[in-house]
Amino acid sequence: MAAEKDHRLVVEHQHVVEMDYSTHGLNGLVSLGAYFERCRFDGLRFQEVALGAGMEQSQFVQCSFDNVVLRGSTGYSRFVGCTFRNTDIRDLTADYLELVDCIFTGRIGSTTFWGAPPPGSDRRFASDLAFLQKQGRPEPPGYRALALRESNDFHGNDFSGADLTDVAFRHGVDLSQQRLPTGADYLYLPDAEATLHRALTLLADRPADDLSARVERTLRRILDREIGNGQRQLLFREADYLSRGVLKPHTRLMFDLLREAAAGSGS
């Protein structure tokens, strides 16, 4: 079933092949258990999407989202071989998003990509089951596997031409399996745990002042929150840490230490 309501496309349980939506003037997309193959969504301004609505996965295979503005939730969705060239992606909720062999250019902002469902997914699953039980509805086939899976499939993606602002990769996204942006503003740590510990060792050689103490707390928090939750590689961008256009002293020291530690370890 597919319908357009108030410039919003709603597709439920349908296999759509080679449909060109780029001329439909859509500003919303809701997909429930749908499969899109070689479809075009180019140039659309999606102010709110639910790309994997409900308790089923939607899939997009070899689709193009070039020149798209994208906001909203990816839900249970999987993208394989899709292009997102010259896009403006921001404030995307991507807890269960799977990305394989996709290409991104343009801007991505205020978004976290997850290598595994985030903390609390089990509680969300239990809450959904309780809601269904109150309505006398059974657990949807396959929902348990979706909601409680151990990892999100995330590899072969090319972000090298994208401008990443306040973007995080967490809970086991293997950044060695992605192409990442480079440049003086970015700092990639392929062995993040070793580099962070080396930075702490370098920090210990400095005077024990408030500046050093603040940096130490930040580094240990990154170790606990990121490394402790399965993220082996890290990508930092200095621009994300600017305050009124400049790096504060403790942030500058942290980046200096991380760069020195990375160079010393060959990272």
Q: Is the pLDDT of residue 266 over 70?
A: no
- With a CB cutoff of 8 Å and minimum separation 6, the contacts of 196 are 189, 219, 222, 223, 227, 258, 261
Q: What pLDDT does residue 13 have? A: 95
Task: Grade residue 207 by pLDDT with cuts at 50, 70 and 90.
Answer: confident
Joined tokens for residue 36: 């899109």
Quick: pLDDT tens for 94-122.
999 999 999 999 999 999 999 999 888 89
Orientation angle between helical segments 192-204 and 249-265, nearest 10 degrees = 120
Least confident of 8-12, 146-150, 242-246: 242-246
Percentage of the chain exceeding pLDDT 70:
97
Q: Is the pLDDT of residue 1 over 60?
A: no
What totals of helices (H) and strands (E) does the chain contain, helices first? 5, 16
Q: Map out the domains of the chain as residue ranges.
A: 1-116+151-181, 183-267
Quick: pLDDT tens for 17-69.
999 999 888 889 999 999 999 999 999 999 889 999 999 999 999 999 999 99
Q: What pLDDT does residue 267 have? A: 56
Q: What pLDDT does residue 56 have? A: 94
Residue 45's H or E segment, with its range, is: strand 45-50
Q: Does domain 1-116+151-181 have CATH number 3.40.1130?
A: no
Dihedral over alpha carbons 152, 156, 159, 161 (to 10 degrees) = -160
